[in-house]
C-alpha cells in the first residue's frame, strides 16, 4: 500500500512537471522566460528556509558582505533568476538548439583545451560545479559531434528520471549512474573515454577537507583518485551565462537574447605531475577546488548557494589526557 501511494505521488509530480514543460515549449520564448522570472521571485519570497541557507553560505564565502545585507540578498535573487531561466532554457533547447545554430547560444572558443582533450586518445575528466549551466556543456558537445559521458545521481522519481535522462542524452551524451554503475565508469575511462562530473558537493565527515572560500569543505576523494588511477587529464571548467555582445556570431532566436553561455576552462591538471607526491590526492583536490572557486567568484550569482557546502567540518582533536600518577 505504501509503495502504491509513493508511485501515485511520483506520477502526479511527473504529470505536473510534464504539463509545465509542454506549456514552456508551446509559448513564445520571451513568455517562457518571463514565467521563469516569476517563479524565481516566488521562490525567493515564499521559501524562507532555502533563502536563509543561501544567505548563510554567501556570508561564509564573502565575510566582507557581513555588513551589506542588501548585496547578499541581491546575489540570492539573481541566483534564483539565473537557475530558473537555465531550467526553462534546458526545456527549450531540443526545439531551439541545433548543430547549425549553436553559435547563437554559446561561445566554445574559450574552451579550446576541452576540444584538444576530447580529440586525444587519453581519458579525460571534465570537472565542474553546480554553476552556470552545467547541463548545457554536455548537450553542446554532443550536438557538435563529441561523445561524452556524465556522472549523475538517479532521481527518486522514476518517471522524472526517464524524462530528464531523455533530455540529457538527446544529442549523444551518455549518463552514468553515480552509485550503481561503477563498472561502466571504469570501462569508459580505461578505453580513453571523456567523463564529466560535479565536484562541489559535501562528502560527509569522511571526506577530504580542503579550503573553499577560506573554510574547510568536505570534498570527495574519488575525482583525484580516478584521475591518478586512469591517467586522466582533468579539465576544470564552468559554463557561465555571459553577454553576447562581441561574442556571438549568430543572432539570438526571438526572445532569447539572454541565453548565451561560454565554456571557460579555469585549469588543466595532469595527474602525472603528482605521481611522486605523498599528498597527491589532497593536492589535486585542493587545486581543482580552488579553480572552481575562482570561477564562482567571477559570477557569484550563478552558483547554487542552496547546497550546504560546509555542512561537515573537521572534528576537533581531543586534548591528550594527563597521565595518571600512581602512588605506591
**Per-residue cell: 230:** 586512469
Nearest to 151 by CA among 119, 130, 181, 183: 181
Is 57 among the domain residues?
A: yes
CA distance 95 to 92: 6
Asked if the model's pLDDT at residue 280 lies above 70, the reply is: yes
Domain span at residue 34?
2-302
Domain CATH code at residue 233: 3.40.1130
Is 327 among the domain residues?
A: no
Is 165 among the domain residues?
A: yes
- How many other CB atoms are there within 10 angstroms of residue 306's CB atom? 18
Is 326 among the domain residues?
A: no
Q: In degrees to the nearest 10, what's the CA dihedral of 101, 105, 110, 111?
A: -70
Is 251 among the domain residues?
A: yes
**Per-residue cell: 242:** 555571459
Is 315 among the domain residues?
A: no
CA distance 310 to 318: 22
Is 317 among the domain residues?
A: no
Instruction: Order the strands of the 174-177 sheet from edge to edge.
Output: 174-177, 149-152, 194-198, 124-128, 233-238, 264-269
pLDDT in tens, 293-324: 999 999 999 999 999 999 999 987 555 555 55
User: How sure is the predictor about 176, in pLDDT bands with cuts at 50, 70 and 90?
Assistant: very high
**Per-residue cell: 37:** 522570472
206 phi and psi angles, rounded to 5 deg? -90, 0
User: How sure is the predictor about 328, in pLDDT bands with cuts at 50, 70 and 90?
Assistant: very low
Is 58 among the domain residues?
A: yes
Q: Work out how many domains the chain is built from and give that number.
A: 1
Return the DSSP state at 303: B
pLDDT in tens, 192-237: 999 999 999 999 999 999 999 999 999 999 999 999 999 999 999 9
pLDDT at residue 181, rounded to an integer? 85
CA distance 200 to 87: 20
- How many other CB atoms are there within 10 angstroms of residue 45's CB atom? 11
| pTM over 0.75, yes/no | yes
CA distances (Å), origin 6, targets 12, 160, 162: 10, 14, 17
Amino acid at each position: 500500500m505504501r509503495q502504491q501511494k509513493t508511485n501515485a505521488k511520483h506520477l502526479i509530480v511527473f504529470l505536473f512537471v510534464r504539463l509545465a514543460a509542454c506549456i514552456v515549449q508551446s509559448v513564445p520564448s520571451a513568455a517562457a522566460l518571463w514565467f521563469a522570472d516569476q517563479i524565481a521571485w516566488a521562490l525567493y519570497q515564499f521559501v524562507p528556509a532555502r533563502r536563509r541557507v543561501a544567505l548563510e553560505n554567501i556570508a561564509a564565502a564573502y565575510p566582507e558582505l557581513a555588513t551589506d545585507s542588501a548585496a547578499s540578498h541581491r546575489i540570492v535573487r539573481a541566483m534564483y533568476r539565473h537557475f530558473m531561466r537555465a531550467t526553462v532554457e534546458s526545456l527549450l533547447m531540443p526545439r531551439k538548439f541545433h548543430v547549425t545554430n549553436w553559435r547563437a547560444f554559446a561561445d566554445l572558443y574559450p574552451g579550446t583545451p576541452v576540444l584538444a582533450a576530447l580529440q586525444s586518445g587519453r581519458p579525460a575528466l571534465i570537472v565542474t560545479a553546480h554553476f552556470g549551466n552545467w547541463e548545457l556543456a554536455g548537450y553542446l558537445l554532443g550536438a557538435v559531434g563529441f561523445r561524452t559521458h556524465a556522472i549523475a545521481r538517479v532521481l527518486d522519481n522514476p518517471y522524472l528520471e526517464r524524462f530528464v535522462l531523455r533530455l540529457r542524452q538527446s544529442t549523444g551524451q551518455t549518463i552514468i549512474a553515480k552509485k550503481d554503475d561503477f563498472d561502466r565508469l571504469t570501462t569508459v575511462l580505461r578505453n580513453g573515454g571523456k567523463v564529466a562530473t560535479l565536484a562541489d558537493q559535501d562528502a560527509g565527515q569522511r571526506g577530504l577537507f580542503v579550503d573553499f572560500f577560506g573554510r574547510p569543505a568536505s570534498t570527495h576523494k574519488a575525482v583525484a583518485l580516478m584521475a591518478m588511477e586512469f591517467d586522466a587529464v582533468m579539465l576544470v571548467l564552468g559554463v557561465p551565462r555571459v553577454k553576447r555582445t562581441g561574442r556571438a556570431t549568430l543572432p539570438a532566436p526571438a526572445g532569447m537574447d539572454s541565453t548565451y553561455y561560454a565554456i571557460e576552462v579555469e585549469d588543466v591538471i595532469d595527474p602525472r605531475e603528482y605521481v611522486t607526491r605523498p599528498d597527491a590526492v589532497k593536492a589535486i583536490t585542493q587545486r581543482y577546488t580552488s579553480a572552481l572557486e575562482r570561477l564562482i567568484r567571477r559570477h557569484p550569482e550563478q552558483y547554487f548557494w542552496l547546497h550546504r557546502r560546509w555542512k561537515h567540518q573537521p572534528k576537533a582533536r581531543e586534548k591528550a589526557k594527563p597521565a595518571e600518577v600512581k602512588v605506591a
